[in-house]
Amino acid sequence: MEIENIVANTVYIKARESGGQKKGKSKKWKTYLQFPHYKQCLYLKCEIDVSYSYVVEKQPIGKLLFREFCEENPQYDRCCSFLSKVEEYETSDDDGESRRILANSIAQMLAPIDNNTPCSSKENQNWCNFLPETVIVNCLKVADNAKHTSEPPNDIFSEVYKLIREFLVVDAFKQFTDSMYFHRYLQWKWLEKRPVDKHTFRLYRVLGKGGFGEVCACQVRASGKMYALKKLEKKRVKKRHAETLSLNEKQILQKVNSPFVVSLAYAYETKDALCLVLTLMNGGDLKFHLYNLSPGGFDEKRVQFYAAEITLGLQHLHRERILYRDLKPENILLDDFGHVRISDLGLAVELKDNEPIKGRVGTVGYMAPEIIKNEKYSYSVDWWGVGCLIYEMIEGKAPFRQRKEKVKREEVERRVREDQEKYSEKFSEAARMLCRGLLHKEPSFRLGCRRVGPPEEGADEMKAHPFFTCGDPLTGREPVPWKKMEAGKLLPPFCPDPRAVYAKDVLDIEQFSTVKGVRLDASDSTFYEKFNTGSVSIPWQNEMIETECFQELNVFYQNGLLVTDLRPDGGNLPQKNNGKSPGFFSKIFRRTARSNSAFNTTSLGLNRPTQLCNHCLNEKANGCVCQTCKSLHDLRDVEQLSRFAPAIRTPQTNSKFTSGVSTASQNLEKENSEANDLRFCKNLPAK
């Protein structure tokens, strides 16, 4: 291994280990994330959505701040606790007994303490007096009946949940928007909307290459969070006329928020490239694992896990009317814990009104027959891709093309259209049925497309297949608890080594050639402006929470007093800080200023908090006031200074200074003519 690769890997692993910890942050991280005064952020109320559904239910920081606000009011706090428990119950995939216990604990929150007093009238009136008594009685009755069923129904508390949520929207949220907690939310939004550039990140080793540039690891200086930086070289994009394609990928990534699809955290531009900052998947891609670490294929238990998470990722994309079109092993990435995500949405497209589209796009060997035939297609092509992927994970090779097989594109496309894939003894009966259903040549008979209902809900048909619902003792496969999987509560069958780099050596990754004959001009700026949108809200807020920046900065009181940036009177508005440390010369001159601070008008209680210049200090014995200093501290200031002359103990000059002040006004005209001789004073520029 080359020394360059060893160094690159060592630095990258060290950065990865520090990511999210304090040692991964810049020493000046608090300066980067300094809150402005909340009055500077009030304009954001007119620019952002300030509804309950957005701030509390979609914004991670908004949800935490609203919860903090509610904790100060026992009624609101109890309401939030009830909603949280109901959400936990409705998304629980546990056995019937565990769900019955949880349902009973929720019912106890509504039940009267003496079993004879309605909840809304006595002991519990502080938090549920707004609920109709009939609703509570009906809910408790259903909950009591559920104790005797094997599987309690999901909707026991749905009506109560709806009423409590409405109460929080109308009452609590209205008060929240007038509180310091909402002001703090606006401060976080202000930080979130700041411009992003190359100085926001540290860059590490190259991990791979995309169609328009390299992909490397990077780290946010302020938080220490690690990401993958995908570069799209401007000249290469322009040469291939791929502006629409690049912007489309960015907009789709920005729209999707799924734990099974890579997230876009930042989008910005440099002089030479457009940059997408994405979720860093340290575990490498499935192709690397399949052909470098597990040649011959994975066991079915592992295949089932990956196939289930990919299915959930496609479900989230399809619900947003997004067609992926490029499913293959190298586009499925593993994170630190072994969970997988769909990546590279460069060929994804949004379907308007679910209307089928045409277009020959994809990777040879993974494109569906209808794409090859240039027919109209819809979500069916993604389920074909899932079939190819599952087949390859089990068999260790693609269904229609051997790895590194030298064969023409036309021959591969003929096999896809006409040949039937072959199954070895590696496939269980359920796995064989699943692949045959997904690799059906006719889209209308393909698994994921047969279901009557919305076409974007084809994932439900996949979830109901025996490969996912039935266990197999021979292969170790177990039924998939879908709700737990969607919540990320299942342990992956394989966990990547945190000390390993699952990528090619730095020197083995081909470098891009220089693009010639392309010039960037002003006409490209409109496209770059659309691309350069900075941070993406939800990933950025999650970053602040995960790296504990939120916890450390979200302080409301210091020494029993409200922090300055939240005081209604404003205090002193924070001055602009560009985050740059003072240079060498500024440090020298700052020392000079400090040395002169003994003769400061502020310390003497004068009208203007200014400081005498060097010339005045040197010439104060003569009572001289230069024209420039006159604008800072006029003659009256000098006269006031004379009253404090005893406090200024400088041998030789004290008495002379006091006597000289009385003649200062007579010397003003003379001073004008002498101003040109005062160039030695650093505060007095030459005329």
pLDDT at 511 over 90: no
pLDDT at 605 over 50: no
- Does a structural domain hold residue 544? no
Q: Report the C-alpha gap between 629 and 615 in whole angstroms.
A: 9
- Does a structural domain hold residue 320? yes
468 vs 213 pLDDT, higher one: 468
Q: 212-226, 255-269, 284-298, 569-583: lowest mean pLDDT where?
A: 569-583
- Does a structural domain hold residue 639? yes
Q: 């340290």: which residue's tokens? A: 282
Tokens of 16: 């990865």
473 vs 614 pLDDT, higher one: 473
pLDDT, position 584: 59
Q: Report the C-alpha gap between 431 and 422 in whole angstroms.
A: 13
Confidence of residue 571 (pLDDT cuts 50, 70, 90): low
User: Are residues 144 and 197 located together in one domain of the fold?
Assistant: no
User: Are residues 229 and 143 located together in one domain of the fold?
Assistant: no
The 10s digit of each residue's pLDDT in 123-181 is 455 678 888 989 999 999 998 888 888 888 888 999 999 999 999 999 999 999 999 99
3-class secondary structure for 624-646?
CCCHHHHHHCCHHHHHHHHHCHH
Beta partners for 231?
275
Q: Report the C-alpha gap between 436 and 427 in whole angstroms.
A: 11
User: Are residues 492 and 528 located together in one domain of the fold?
Assistant: no
Pairing mode of beta strands 534-535, 332-334 = unpaired
pLDDT at 226 over 60: yes
**How confident is the model over 490-494, as a mean pLDDT?**
94
pLDDT at 265 over 90: yes
pLDDT, position 151: 82
11 vs 617 pLDDT, higher one: 11
User: Are residues 10 and 157 located together in one domain of the fold?
Assistant: no
User: Are residues 347 and 493 located together in one domain of the fold?
Assistant: yes
Domain count, the chain: 4
Domain end point (choices 439, 469, 497): 497
Residue type, 640: Q
Sign, CA dihedral 413-416-417-422, equals positive
Please give the helix or strand (H or E) that residue 279 lies within, else none: strand 273-279
pLDDT at 114 over 80: no
Q: 51-55, 57-61, 269-273, 456-460: lowest mean pLDDT where?
A: 456-460
Q: Report the C-alpha gap between 187 and 181 in whole angstroms.
A: 10
pLDDT at 607 over 70: no
Q: Is the pTM of this model over 0.85?
A: no
User: Are residues 123 and 81 located together in one domain of the fold?
Assistant: yes
pLDDT, position 646: 39
Q: State which of 54-58, 398-402, 680-684 shows the largest mean pLDDT.
A: 54-58
CB contact at 8 A, 537 and 59? yes
The percent of residues above 70 in pLDDT, for the chain, comes to 80
Confidence of residue 621 (pLDDT cuts 50, 70, 90): very low
User: Are residues 233 and 296 located together in one domain of the fold?
Assistant: no
- Does a structural domain hold residue 418? yes
CB contact at 8 A, 187 and 35? yes
| CATH code, domain carrying 164 | 1.10.167.10
Confidence of residue 530 (pLDDT cuts 50, 70, 90): very high
Q: Report the C-alpha gap between 214 and 203 in whole angstroms.
A: 12
pLDDT at 678 over 70: no
- Does a structural domain hold residue 565? no
- Does a structural domain hold residue 41? no
pLDDT, position 521: 87
Taking alpha carbons only, the member of 194, 222, 196, 189 closest to residue 38 is: 189
The 10s digit of each residue's pLDDT in 573-600 is 444 454 455 565 555 555 444 444 334 4
Q: 147-151, 275-279, 286-290, 334-338: lowest mean pLDDT where?
A: 147-151
Confidence of residue 311 (pLDDT cuts 50, 70, 90): very high
User: Are residues 117 and 198 located together in one domain of the fold?
Assistant: no
User: Are residues 108 and 214 located together in one domain of the fold?
Assistant: no
Q: Report the C-alpha gap between 319 and 474 in whole angstroms.
A: 35
User: Are residues 396 and 311 located together in one domain of the fold?
Assistant: yes
pLDDT, position 635: 41
Q: 173-177, 288-292, 397-401, 619-623: lowest mean pLDDT where?
A: 619-623
DSSP, collapsed to helix, strand or coil, labels residue 168 as helix
Q: Domain containing 223: what range? A: 3-24+192-281+510-538
pLDDT, position 94: 74
CB contact at 8 A, 532 and 268? yes
Q: 40-44, 150-154, 264-268, 391-395: lowest mean pLDDT where?
A: 150-154
Sign, CA dihedral 596-577-223-505, equals negative
pLDDT, position 211: 81
User: Are residues 305 and 431 located together in one domain of the fold?
Assistant: yes
Per 3-state DSSP, the chain is made up of helix, strand and coil in percentages (nearest 5) of: 50, 10, 40
| CATH code, domain carrying 337 | 1.10.510.10
pLDDT, position 502: 86
pLDDT, position 112: 67
CB contact at 8 A, 338 and 494? yes
Q: What angle do CA 322, 327, 328 make, to 5 degrees?
A: 165
pLDDT, averaged across the chain: 83
Domain end point (choices 109, 141, 176): 176
Domain end point (choices 497, 529, 564): 497
Q: CA torsion 47→50→55→58, rounded to 10°? A: -70
Q: Report the C-alpha gap between 64 and 78 in whole angstroms.
A: 15
- Does a structural domain hold residue 543? no
Q: 159-173, 226-240, 309-323, 606-620: lowest mean pLDDT where?
A: 606-620
| CATH code, domain carrying 519 | 3.30.200.20
Name 177's Cβ contacts closer than 8 Å, sequence gap at least 6. Answer: 50
Confidence of residue 402 (pLDDT cuts 50, 70, 90): confident
pLDDT, position 518: 87
Tokens of 17: 């280990």
Beta partners for 535?
266
Residue 459 backbone phi and psi in degrees, to 5? -65, -30
**What would the DSSP string read from start to end of 52-105?**
HHHHTTT-HHHHHHHHHHHHTSHHHHHHHHHHHHHHHHHT----HHHHHHHHHH
**How confident is the model over 597-614, as a mean pLDDT?**
41
The 10s digit of each residue's pLDDT in 636-668 is 444 444 444 434 333 444 443 334 434 444 444
pLDDT, position 333: 96
pLDDT, position 117: 47
Pairing mode of beta strands 214-220, 201-209 = antiparallel
Q: 48-62, 380-394, 430-444, 590-604: lowest mean pLDDT where?
A: 590-604
User: Are residues 336 and 483 located together in one domain of the fold?
Assistant: yes
pLDDT at 419 over 70: yes
- Does a structural domain hold residue 214? yes
pLDDT, position 377: 95
Q: 99-103, 134-138, 439-443, 654-658: lowest mean pLDDT where?
A: 654-658
pLDDT, position 3: 85
Active site residues: 326
378 vs 670 pLDDT, higher one: 378
Burial class (CB in 10 A: 0-12, 13-18, 19+), 94: middle
Q: Report the C-alpha gap between 126 and 656 in whole angstroms.
A: 77
